[in-house]
Structure 1
Amino acid sequence: MFPRKRFGSAPGRPLSHGFDAARSRRETIRRRNLTQVYLLHAHDDWVSQKATWVVEQGKPMSNAEFANHLLTDHAHRCSPRYMSSVHTQTESDDSTQVSQPSEAPLLDIALTSTPIKGQGGRPSLPSTSFCYEDLQPLDQELEEVEASGNIDIIQAGKHNKLKISTVEEDIFQLEEKSENGSDTDSDDETAAADERQLTPIAGVKAIVWVDQILKLLRDINGTVCKHSFCIGELQYTTKFCGSALVVKWKCGEKYHPSGTWCSQPKLRGMYAGNLQLAAGIVVSGNSFTKTGQLFKSMNLKCISKDTFFRVQKLYVAPAVEEMWEKMQETLFSSLRDKEVVVSGDARNDSPGHSAQYCTYTMMEESSGKVLHMEIVDVREAAGKSPNMEKIGFTRSMDFLMERINVEEVVTDGHLQIAALMRNCSKYEGIIHQNDVWHGSKSLTKMLTKAAKAKENKAILEWMPAIRKHFWFSSSSCDGDEKKLKASLLGILHHVVNEHEWALGAYGFPGKCAHEEIDEGEHDKAWLTKGSAAHKTLGRLLTGKRFMKKLSYYRNFRHTGNLESFHNHLLMYAPKRHSYGFVGFATRSKLAAIDSNYHADREQVVTKDGHLRYRRKYSKRTRNFHAEPLREAKSYGYIADLMRSIAAKRLVTPGHLSQHVSLAQDDPRRIHPRMSMLPRSSLDELVKEHLSRFSPQQQISEQPPE
């Protein structure tokens, strides 16, 4: 062993290599530099292997702890006992012989920059004995090896050499690079490491009872300490970290063996179950309030509200945004060289004129897939919610016109949008059409209002037929506005039992398009020609404003798919719940991803090859109608989305509680509050609230005795 003090007059800490201070210091620096070179070369594999080890252990580990683990493991594998076992096993397998070292190798000294701590917390000195004579040839050989570039580790006393390259490959699992020095497999190795880290995301989960877990751990580890000559009882303690269960067991002695078990693996320090729970609430369209109430009713442990919103902001929203942008780019690339017909409509997050968000959606007419969505906050419209639809339409059109060739746009009968399309020069050449369903709805409202008069009640009976005739006229006019008007005005002759007349409107034949009517099957009373009801109907259908609007229905465009999407949006963002801007935008994009992913579902076919239908009741018509039965939704995108969210956790720097600056389009940059009014003090509001129940008023309202 080394002496505990220097030779000479100057006392100090003992030398590590021999008795000469300069030689010992030079040797220490050389070996420390070698260690730094090895770790720098293996940095990428170090990070990958550490992440894998953290996932397997289920607990965080610092760089120093991981280095201590590697060095301890390698020292064990290079020990004489371990080498002897390897030598014996190799001889039995008739493979390459490995000489068993007679003394402890110097690998612990050559690769260890800090002493390995023992159980007592003090550094454990190497057990190798050194001689001053052995250091002279050692210096010479190390200098020769460094000059040649082939670094070897030399055992003291006997000069048996072991290449450092094999040590690095053994510790860091490195693969040899190509001769030209290119690292062609680095991307594959990184992808494989990421794949290993994301493995817990796809694992199957189950609900378990804590008592059953404790019973299992007691059966495995027992109830008595396993340390020699210790009969202490193991104490099992449980701790919940969100939805994760952590169980620890140990006896009363400080340095006796203890253990820890966790129910969930970790992703960069965060329990995977907590991350998936927060992400699953958003992806499935649920709310944290209802999910938390479900967990409470079952006495299940759940994450906190702050954790949910932080996960949504840091990981879920960016992952959903990336998936939505990729889906958009795929749609735009398929429509790049086509003339596209888009339909647009707005949906407010609450009924009435007090909405906070307006979602304006643009959909491709033929495929029924959502192309773009704009979320408009009421603060962007100066606090006036009726103006949000125009802002959303303008943004959506500008976005689409930069990427695809918009030939025609279909909207509802919004007057501001109609004026914008008619007067704005940048929309010249784009055909503007209205939804035929909104047109028939407007016609029905006009007729209902006129039929309230006593002399016009006969119109009520003919309203469904007039509405159907409007649909027929729009679908059969072949884009000809005059033909549409002539066909629609023919209803004025049909309601008075005239099915052929001398002169048709706009030069078209004066004849109904239906077959001969059987009087026995006709169930409505004919109107009297020239009666008040007939004149009123003629005045409404030939009105200047109504006839001018008919040009918007000549192409027979129907936005039923868009209306269905807005109804589907309620699954992700119900109107009875309020959301922040990030949460509402994320849920809207999730609804669009869901709709586009399942837009091409085929109709179900029976075993005989017949298409299947189902009955559906209409509250409006109070009748049943047949509806095609589509294949069930698969939600195949959710697995990729959950993996993307977990990957965001791995690559996003910083802690979960870090501050995230507002996005450029966040309406809170305009004003922090939706009301855009100065906030009154709470004391004034409480005083105003209590003033309604003043003592004088309470005394005056008391009943007499």
Structure 2
Amino acid sequence: MISTPVAAQFKVPKLAELTVSEISADSNGNGSTTETAVSGIEEMESSSSSQDKPSTSEKGISQRTRMEKKLMSSFVDPLSLSISITHEIDNEEDDIYDEDYVPEFDLTLGGEQNTDIEDVAGGDLVWGVDADEGSEEEIIDSFTGPGIRQVLTMEESASVLEAEKVIAFEEQLLLLAKTKIDGKCLVKGCSEPVSLSTKYIGSALYIIWMCTKKHIKHRWCSQPLLNMGLHSGDLMLSAAILSSGNNFSKVALMARFMKLHFPSQSSFTRMQRTYLVPAIDETWEEHLEIIRRDFTGKDVVLLGDGRMDSPGHCAQYCTYTMMENNTKKIVGMKTLDKRETEKKSTNLEKAGYQRVLEDARANLNVIEVVTDAHLQIGALMKRQYPQVKHSHDIWHAAKNLGKKVIAASQEKTSKDLSSWSQDIVNHFWHCCKIANTYTEFLEVWCGVLHHVTNEHEWALSYGSMSAGSCSHGELEDCDRADKKWLEKGGPVHSALTRIVFDKRLLNNVHYYLNFRSTANLEIFNNHILMYATKRISYSPPVYRARNILAALDYKDSVDLPSERNKDGTIRYQRTYSKKSGRWTVVEKKAKKSYEHISGLFQKILKLRLENPRGMQHTVDLPLQDPRRISSTIAPKMPPPTAELVAQKKSRF
């Protein structure tokens, strides 16, 4: 922060002299408007420079020119500007109306280290925003000619609003430009003139040169054709829709609004089932093989968490993911349908956990697994996997502890406990981090009961026979802020004692001593929403494929380097949390490259080119498809539609 004494730089006008028009007054103070707006800081700089060096007309003109060029960057952020009065007034009523009274004040601006920090919305961190690559004004508009049509009036708007649009490949357009077709039919004995006609198939345009007797002289297509007549643009559009996490109906609606020809829903579904989903599955298996090879012969600590496709107890799918603790790389992921757990959503997470763990143990040396405090998973680990260390996520434990403290502070006799809630939770984090045994945890954890009463040394420790004490140094008044010391043995202190010695909390301490967190898994589960929203229903293979796409995307972005400023320091972005009400900074990562997409598209094209059957055939469900168990997730089969129509009654 810099503090600039203004009173020594220029004379502050009297309170009665200040008018709105003087905001844009010239240097002579005559109130006339100028061509450039100068902020107060620039006015100070120009004033100080004029005192050091004599001004000339030439220097004045050059300074004004430079000022005009810097106009866009001359604004001072009012949120980073503060004014403080430094002059002490002995008799306020007398001095405030004195004509010669001039207050002394300081202007304080944010330091230069904040100039490279950008504001960012939360969504930008997930999607990634490309830099501005130029506006339309930068395009040279001098290219005119017979082949370029300009629309300058609304009478010509049909060329923009009503014209049909198609997907065209550049090579096909160049081929069309080189094609020369005369106006005569080549069929022997036919001298009819040749005319042009168009035909639309999917997203492609066909131009046909044909005479009046239906003799076709030449054809041109805007897209290359694949085997069995599939248009390559349709296949690439379908692949791009799925791999980018979009929904076909929305993209097709966009195309409809702009009159862009598009493949049909049935064509997209067939391509998705025949080429897209198998290519995604193959890419994922190749990725898992590489990951398993990297961890061969190493002891692995896994982080596990499940994600339901809808809230409450009505979920159809559960995605269970396991991530390696150090590298944060995903080593296993399974999606389950409720039909695989007797249509009981509450059993999905346990079943998914067991499948992923079994698969991981078959390929990796798993020594520890970290999950949330799921009771079914805890019982499963004790019963079937006693040789694997089971830890709980420290964040979930701290969150539950905070809820207990807040709930206790709602009582009329314990309201003062709310001001200590954050400190108690932070103390729990600290205890789990430094303690290696239950005894060490108890010695530090129970000390909070003495600290809140302003007692920082006590005769007998809770874990040993020695004396106990707080580990902090001398406390300052600012450390306490607005918190009150609690009365020892009082109602508030008794409520805190019950929380600290809670039997369930102390029995679960051994789950937290390794100080593990599944925060990165929470981030990934949130990232899945980009590919598999909870508002749309998917078939089991498509839901699995969309989760795999999220994992492949996460794989490419987990090790992204941070962007650097010109001086080599890390570049940061500011983001605001509505929940906490605080601003924070995060490192600005490099742009995503989406390296997996090119390989994925190659697999999709290869599957099409090597497939002799095409898409028009009966589909057999795979053996592991849950639709083999039941065709619907409802508890009973549906009656005939005609019967439902006959039974339907309306209140209106």
TM-score, normalised relative to structure 2: 0.71
1:404 CA drift (Å): 0.4
Residue in 2 that maps onto 1:638: 597
SS at match of 2:649: helix
Q: Where in structure 2 are the equivalents of 1:179-328 lying within 5 Å?
A: 220-225=180-185, 232-253=192-213, 258-269=217-228, 270-328=230-288
1:661 deviates by 1.2
Q: 1:560 — aligned with what? A: 519
TM superposition shift of 1:219: 9.0
The partner residue of 2:623 within 618, 643, 664 is 664
Alpha-carbon distance in 2 for matches of 1:600, 1:488: 36
Match among 457, 478, 493 for residue 450 of structure 2: 493
1:467 aligned partner, one-letter code: V
| 1:409 aligned partner | 369
2-side partners of 1:206 and 1:437: how far apart?
A: 52
Unaligned runs of 5+ in 1: 1-204, 694-705
Shift in Å at residue 223 of structure 1?
A: 4.6
1:229-251 CA deviation, whole Å, 9 max, x = no partner?
86533232222211111121111
Q: In the aligned structure 2, how far is the partner of 1:440 from the partner of 1:419?
A: 22
8 Å Cα contact 2:167/2:233 also seen in 1: no
The CA deviation at 1:218 is 12
Query: Is the counterpart of residue 334 in structure 1 residue 294 in structure 2?
Result: yes
**Is 1:503 aligned to 2:463, yes or no?**
no
Query: How much has 1:224 moved relative to structure 2?
Result: 4.8
- Describe the superposition over 1:415-445 as per-residue Cα deviations: whole angstroms up to 9, x where unpaired: 1111111122xx1211000001110111122
287-296 vs 520-529, which moves further: 520-529
Change (3 A) 1:257 1:625: closer
Are residues 670 and 472 of structure 1, via their aligned partners in 2, closer, same or farther at CA, if it must alter by over 3 Å?
A: same
Stretches of structure 2 lacking an aligned partner (at least 5 in a row): 1-164
2:559 aligned partner, one-letter code: D
Contact conserved, 2:252 with 2:262, CA < 8 A, in 1?
Answer: yes
CA positional deviation for 1:681: 2.6
**Is 1:527 matched with 2:486?**
yes
- SS of 1:627's equivalent? strand
Q: Is the 8 A contact 1:227 1:257 kept in 2?
A: no
1:647 paired residue number: 606
In the alignment, structure 1 residue 363 sits paired with structure 2 residue 320: no
Counterpart mapping for 1:116-155 below 5 A = none
How far, CA to CA, are the matches of 1:244 and 1:587 in structure 2?
27
What amino acid sits opposite 1:648 in the alignment?
L
* Superposed displacement of residue 217, structure 1: 7.6
Alignment-derived partner of residue 8 in structure 2: none
Residue 441 in structure 1 maps to residue 414 in structure 2 = no
Deviation at 1:343, TM superposition (A): 0.6
2:471 equivalent in structure 1: 513
Report the Cα distance in structure 2 between the residues aligned to 1:558 and 1:652, rounded to whole angstroms.
46
1:475 paired with 2:443, answer: no
Letter in 2 for 1:531: G
Q: How big is the shift at 1:607?
A: 2.1
How far apart in 2 are the matches of 1:206 and 1:685?
43
Instruction: Tell me the distance in 1 between the aligned counterparts of 2:479 and 2:166.
Output: 63
Distance 1:543 1:279, change over 3 A: same
Query: 2:49 matched to which residue of 1?
Result: none
Residue 468 of structure 2: SS of its match in structure 1?
Answer: coil
Q: Which SS does the other structure have where 1:690 is aligned? A: coil
Distance 1:237 1:413, change over 3 A: same
| Distance in 1 separating the partners of 2:188 and 2:610 | 45
Report the CA distance between 1:687 and its aligned residue. 3.6
Match of 2:388 among 430, 440, 462: 430
Which of residues 577, 591, 607 is equivalent to 2:550? 591
Q: Is the 8 A contact 2:166 2:203 kept in 1?
A: no
Matching residue's letter, 1:286: N
Rounded Cα–Cα distance in structure 2 between residues aligned with 1:509 and 1:241:
85
Contact 2:166 2:204 in 1 (8 A): no
Q: Deviations over 1:430-463 (max 9, x none)?
A: 1000001110111122222222211122222211
Q: Offset of 1:264 from its aligned partner?
A: 0.8
Counterpart position of 2:337: 377
- How far, CA to CA, are the matches of 2:446 and 2:521 in structure 1? 30
Separation in structure 2 between the aligned mates of residue 304 and residue 257 of structure 1, nearest angstrom: 28
For 1:415 and 1:655, locate their aligned partners in 2 and report how far apart those are by CA, in whole Å: 48
Distance apart, 1:486 and its partner CA: 2.2
Counterparts of 2:473 and 2:648, CA distance in 1: 71
Task: Measure, in 1, the Cα distance between the counterparts of 2:339 and 2:475.
Answer: 58
8 A Cα contact 1:485 1:550, kept in partner: no
Answer yes or no: is the 8 Å Cα contact 1:244–1:262 preserved in 2: yes
- Is 2:502 aligned against 1:543? yes
Native 8 Å contact 1:267 1:646 kept in 2? no
- Of the two, which has the highest radius of gyration? 1
Instruction: Give the direction of change, closer, same or farther, for the CA distance of 1:664–1:226 in structure 2 (3 Å limit).
Output: closer
Q: Is the 8 A contact 2:305 2:371 kept in 1?
A: yes
- Aligned counterparts of 1:219 and 1:630: Cα–Cα separation in 2: 48
Question: How far has the Cα of 1:284 moved from its partner?
Answer: 0.8
Alignment partner of 2:439: what SS?
helix
What is the rounded CA distance, in whole Å, between the counterparts of 2:519 and 2:293 in structure 1? 25
Q: Distance in 1 between matches of 2:326 and 2:196?
A: 64
- The one-letter code of the counterpart of 1:641 is L
Pick aligned residue for 2:420 from 448, 457, 462:
462
Q: 1:619 to 1:480 in 2, by over 3 A?
A: farther
Q: Which has the higher helix share?
A: 1
| Structure 2 CA distance for partners of 1:562 and 1:651, relative to 1, 3 Å | same
Contact persistence 1:357–1:376 (CA under 8 A): yes
Q: Helix, strand or coil for the counterpart of 2:469? A: coil
Superposition deviation, residue 397 in structure 1: 0.9
Aligned length: 484
**Pairwise CA distance, 1:213:** 8.1
Identical-residue share of aligned pairs (%) = 40
| Aligned positions of 1:384-403 closer than 5 A | 384-403=344-363
CA–CA distance in structure 1, aligned partners of residues 389 and 248 of structure 2: 44
Q: Does structure 1 retain, via aligned residues, the 8 Å contact 2:367–2:388? A: yes
TM-score by length of 1: 0.66
Query: Shift of residue 686 of structure 1?
Result: 2.7
SS in 2 for 1:663: coil
Distance 2:190 2:348 in 1: 75
- Deviation, 1:499, is 2.0
Q: Does 1:605 align with 2:556?
A: no
1: CA distance between counterparts of 2:526 and 2:185? 62
Aligned to 1:681: 640
Contact 2:608 2:614 in 1 (8 A): no
- In structure 2, relative to structure 1, the CA distance for the partners of 1:267 and 1:229 (3 Å cut) is closer
Superposed, 1:22-171 pairs within 5 Å as none
Aligned pair in 2 of structure 1 residues 692, 609: CA closer, same or farther (>3 Å)? same
What CA distance in whole angstroms lies between the structure 1 residues aligned with 2:357 and 2:271? 33
Matches within 5 A, 1:349-360: 349-360=309-320
| RMSD (CA atoms) | 2.5
Sort the Cα spacing of 1:273 and 1:513 in 2 relative to 1 into closer, same or farther, 3 A: same
CA distance change for structure 1 residues 503 and 375 in 2, over 3 Å: closer, same or farther?
same
* Cα distance in 1 between the residues matched to 2:167 and 2:623: 42
The alignment partner of 2:270 has SS state of: helix
Contact 2:166-2:205 within 8 A present in 1 as well: no
Q: Of residues 565, 570, 582 in structure 1, which corresponds to 2:541?
A: 582
1:488 CA drift (Å) = 1.7
Q: Distance in 1 between matches of 2:467 and 2:337?
A: 52
